[in-house]
Structure 1
Amino acid sequence: MALDRAGQADAFDAIGNRYDEAFPHKEGQLASGHWLAAALPPGSRILDVGCGTGLPTARQLTDSGHHVTGVDLSPVMVKLARDNVPGGTFHQLDLAELADSGLGPFDGVAAFFALLMLPRAEVPHALRMLHGLLRPGGLLALAMVEADVDDFSIPFLGNAIRVSGYLRDDLRQVVREAGFEIAGEDCLAYAPASTDVAPEMQLFLNCRRRA
């Protein structure tokens, strides 16, 4: 995968705590996180990809008795996650570096809105990399925004970021081709608290690694 994330980390460094203020009431993410936490044995190792501030997912998973490792490209987000979730372990790390990080293997992975920061050409590679970090039968909780866009620049809380998305049938196909079976899914409309961010349709897939 390419390593050019020019501006992406800088944008989230600048956003900091305003991210959680702009995206409150994350019912879909909490529900998918609950599935992941409940479906795994207590004390499982879970990777939180694009952990952000650690809220709500890393805290939810650690509160459920799991060992959470979070990674994020933004050093500001990593610091916030460490402050918010002292029971987790957090690293500033590019998604593309995970395969050689020595952090795995994991019983579960949470990837909530992290892969939408990649160009579409990189998403299948990222999913196969996450597949490789999971033990056989491991679980993946994945969320994306439904949108037919590829590496598209958008205004985001006073900054510019580049995002990609899929229509839901296309997302299912990409996930299955990466070696996952889909155990459940949900779709809900979400309106951020900030008028600087457009309403969106969020897709949640609960997946299991095929051997």
Structure 2
Amino acid sequence: MDIDDPKDVVRRGYDALSRHYEQSYATETKYRPWLDALQKRIPATATVLDLGCGHGVPVARALASAGHRVTGVDISGVQISRARELVPEAEFRQADATAVEFPAASFDAVISLYALIHIPLDEQPPLLARIANWLRPGGWFLGTTGHSAWTGTDDDWLGGGATMWWSHADAATYRDWLTRAGLTVQEEEFVPEGDGGHALFWARRPSEG
């Protein structure tokens, strides 16, 4: 399938299937240990960016409930509208992750779970560099990426009748991109998903001095 504007396909897909996506992954529990581990690494009242926040659950809700100052960004207006209802204690912004602006050293942590893989490949390394800039010295990036390289679509995503688009490199490439962005990769693991899986990275902006 020839896609003229993949970001628009992603936006329309999540607009159409926001609730369907939530129901499909309603029993998802893998986020909990990741979020628990993150909270042990950041200040008690940290400033956190959830990039590709979806409808705000579980990431923004869990972190905001724990007392952190959370900002969520998502390209889908429907997802952002629902996030504002579901997690009123956090701040949400509808925006393209590659175009949104934040001052340097704004966040103690940036989380991006299953969002980078919806961004055109050539825009991903510059985004990782921006993420590194948004982090305070010693700040953490927690993100999922592709494990093997693939670009493609599903014309009946989750059986909901909408099209979805993905594009990702392999884990070794992401490791290189993170390093080039100025982050130090601390941990990497394989997260199984059906017949394949994704890579989960913990990377840190070096402390000054």
Both structures adopt the same fold (TM-score exceeding 0.5): yes
Q: Is the 8 A contact 1:36 1:140 kept in 2?
A: no
Which residue pairs with 2:144 in the alignment? 143
The amino acid that maps onto 1:42 is A
What is the TM-score normalised by the length of structure 1?
A: 0.86
CA contact (8 A) 1:33 1:110 kept: no
Task: Return the offset for 1:102.
Answer: 5.3
CA contact (8 A) 1:28 1:188 kept: no
| Per-residue CA distance 1:81-136 (angstroms, 9 max, x = gap) | 1121121111111112223x559611110100111111111110110011111111
Q: 1:112 to 1:104 in 2, by over 3 A?
A: same
State yes or no: 1:168 paired with 2:164.
Answer: no
| Match runs of 1:86-165 below 5 Å | 86-99=88-101, 101=102, 105-150=106-151, 152-155=152-155, 156-157=157-158, 158-165=161-168
2:66 is matched with which residue? 64
Once the 2 structures are TM-superposed, how far is the Cα of residue 33 of structure 1 from its aligned partner?
Answer: 2.1
| Maintained 8 Å contact 2:104/2:133 | no
Alignment match of 2:8 (pick from 6, 9, 21): 6
Partner AA of 2:109 in structure 1: G
Q: Give, in angstroms, the shift of residue 47 of structure 1.
A: 0.3
Alignment check: 8 A CA contact 1:28 1:204 kept:
no
For residues 168 and 96 of structure 1, the distance between their equivalents in structure 2, rounded to whole angstroms, comes to 20
- The amino acid that maps onto 2:139 is G
- Which residue pairs with 2:26 in the alignment? 24
In the TM superposition, residue 210 of structure 1 has moved relative to its aligned partner by 2.7
Secondary structure class of the residue paired with 1:97 = coil
Task: Output the CA distance in 2 between the equivalents of 1:54 and 1:183.
Answer: 26
Partner of 1:202: 198
The list of structure 1 runs, each at least 4 consecutive aligned residues, that deviate by more than 3 angstroms after superposition, is 24-28, 101-104
- TM-score in terms of structure 2 length: 0.87
TM superposition shift of 1:57: 0.6
Shift, 1:75, TM fit: 0.7
Give the secondary structure class of the aligned counterpart of 1:98: coil
CA RMSD of aligned residues (A): 2.0
Alpha-carbon distance between aligned partners in 2 of 1:44 and 1:165, rounded to the nearest angstrom: 30
Q: CA deviation at 1:4?
A: 6.7
Determine helix, strand or coil for the equivalent of 1:210. Answer: coil
Counterpart of 2:57?
A: 55
Q: SS where residue 12 of structure 1 aligns?
A: helix
Which segments of 5 or more consecutive residues in structure 1 lack a partner in the other structure?
192-198
2:46 aligned partner: 44
Counterpart of 1:74 in structure 2 is: 76
Q: Which amino acid aligns with 1:13?
A: D
Query: Per-residue deviation at 1:50?
Result: 0.5
SS at match of 1:108: strand
**Equivalents in 2 of 1:29, 1:147: separation in Å?**
21
**2:145–2:171 Cα contact (<8 Å) kept:** no
Give the corresponding residue for 1:179.
182
Higher RCO by CA contacts (8 Å cutoff, separation 6 or greater): 1
Whole-angstrom distance in 2 between the partners of 1:111 and 1:9: 16
